[in-house]
């Protein structure tokens, strides 16, 4: 009797769980999984958006390896990821430590100021930075010129274009990394520092032996998310390089967009999308494996 009641209760709970799950599951399937599946089928075809489709198998995937623009985009994206993720995380930690310092006052105000760019639209921020970087009217060149350092084509010079976009991206995301680190810092028990101080540990020793190791899960999260987001960089490149396909700022998602919406080569663009997916998946899996191994 009791067993039957438990079983009925379990069935009721399972039914309730399914009832709650069914709506998000349907939405997720229709708007996430299905488009992913369709994109895979599109990647096996030549499709120009106007209805003319030809099945070509994995030809796009093979062609991509011989495509110099794709290799350039891959290299540029790797450069972007390598430049923005570590620097952004290091600066986020630095700002978090500075704001958590007992001597700093009006912490909430500073937190808001640093977090403001994170909640601002990337397009709006990139437009403002476009002005800052303008070679003749821009703020940055006014400063460098007044210091006798000359004027630079920040976004026009192929050597400076991508680093300039990276600086803007780092600036925009510092607030996000900082807030996550602040949450991590607040979770470190004060007693650990007190014990270390009693044992005669210096502030640097406390930082390297208590703070950093205890922030490792936070850092891991920021690295994983940072790499995933940086591999998908697009908005700022589109706005700041004015939609032109340049070697110096050609990144993967921008190249995908260009192939899809400028050249109307939907199959090829979908194949690029799948390569991006595989790369991000591989990086993320590697990071999880590495973290687990340690």
Partner 1 sequence: MTFEWGTGKDNYRAREKLINKQFEDLHVTIRYTAFGTYVPKLLASFAGNMAPDLLYSMTGRDRLFISKGVFQPLNEFIEGPDGLDLNDFNTTVIREQMTRDGKVYALPQANNTLALYYNKDLFRQAGLPMLSETEPITWDQYRDLAVKLTRDLDNDGTTDQYGCVPGFDNVQPTYFFFVLNASFGGTAFSPDGTAAHFDSPETIAAVTWLHSLIYEAKCAPSPDFAQQMGAFFFPANRLGMLINGPWTGYELNQTAPDLEFGVAPLPYQPGHPRKNMIGGTAVGISSTAKHPDKAWKVLKFLVSPEFQKLPIQGLPGRISVMEDPEFVGLPYWQIFRAEMQHATSDFFIERYDEITTIVRQSGERILSDPTAKPRIPQMLREMNDQINALLRTK
**Residues forming the site for partner 1 (CB under 8 A):** 46, 48-52, 54, 130, 133-137, 145, 150-151, 153-158, 161, 241-247, 258, 260-264
| Distance in Å, CB of 167 to partner 1, minimum | 15
Question: What gap in Å lies between CA 106 and CA 113, rounded to an integer?
Answer: 11
Q: Collect all residues with Cβ–Cβ distance below 8 Å to 200 and sequence separation of at least 6.
A: none
| Distance in Å, CB of 169 to partner 1, minimum | 18
Pick 230 or 265: Cβ nearer partner 1:
265
Pick 88 or 259: Cβ nearer partner 1:
259
Q: Collect all residues with Cβ–Cβ distance below 8 Å to 100 and sequence separation of at least 6.
A: 107, 182, 185, 186
Q: Collect all residues with Cβ–Cβ distance below 8 Å to 68 and sequence separation of at least 6.
A: none
Positive/negative CA dihedral, 100, 103, 108, 112: negative
Pick 158 or 217: Cβ nearer partner 1:
158
Nearest to 40 by CA among 276, 267, 289: 267
Pick 69 or 284: Cβ nearer partner 1:
69
| Distance in Å, CB of 265 to partner 1, minimum | 9
| Distance in Å, CB of 135 to partner 1, minimum | 6
| Distance in Å, CB of 80 to partner 1, minimum | 19
Pick 51 or 200: Cβ nearer partner 1:
51
Question: What gap in Å lies between CA 237 and CA 123, rounded to an integer?
Answer: 10
Question: What gap in Å lies between CA 97 and CA 193, rounded to an integer?
Answer: 14
């Amino acid at each position: 009797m009791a067993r039957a009641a438990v079983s009925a209760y379990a069935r009721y709970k399972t039914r309730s769980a399914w009832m709650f799950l069914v709506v998000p599951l349907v939405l997720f399937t229709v708007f996430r999984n299905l488009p992913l599946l369709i994109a895979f089928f599109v990647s096996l075809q030549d499709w120009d958006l106007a209805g003319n489709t030809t099945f070509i198998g994995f030809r796009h995937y093979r062609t991509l390896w011989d495509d110099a623009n794709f290799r350039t985009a891959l290299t540029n994206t790797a450069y972007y990821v390598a430049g923005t993720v570590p620097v952004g995380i290091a600066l986020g930690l630095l700002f978090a430590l500075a704001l958590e310092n007992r001597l700093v006052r009006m912490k909430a105000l500073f937190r808001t100021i640093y977090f403001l760019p994170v909640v601002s639209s990337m397009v709006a921020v990139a437009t403002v930075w476009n002005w800052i970087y303008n070679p003749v009217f821009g703020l940055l060149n006014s400063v460098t010129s007044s210091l006798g350092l000359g004027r630079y084509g920040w976004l026009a010079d192929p050597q400076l274009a991508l680093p300039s976009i990276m600086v803007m991206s780092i600036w925009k995301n510092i607030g996000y990394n900082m807030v996550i680190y602040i949450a991590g810092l607040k979770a470190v028990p004060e007693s650990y520092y007190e014990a270390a101080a009693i044992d005669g540990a210096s502030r640097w020793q406390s930082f390297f032996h208590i703070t950093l190791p205890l922030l490792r899960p936070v850092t891991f999260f920021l690295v994983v998310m940072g790499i995933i987001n940086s591999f998908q960089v697009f908005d700022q490149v589109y706005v700041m390089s004015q939609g032109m396909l340049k070697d110096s700022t050609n990144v993967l998602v921008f190249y995908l967009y260009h192939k899809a919406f400028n050249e109307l080569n939907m199959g090829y663009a979908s194949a690029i999308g799948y390569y991006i997916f595989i790369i991000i998946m591989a990086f993320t899996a590697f990071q999880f494996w590495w973290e687990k191994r340690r």
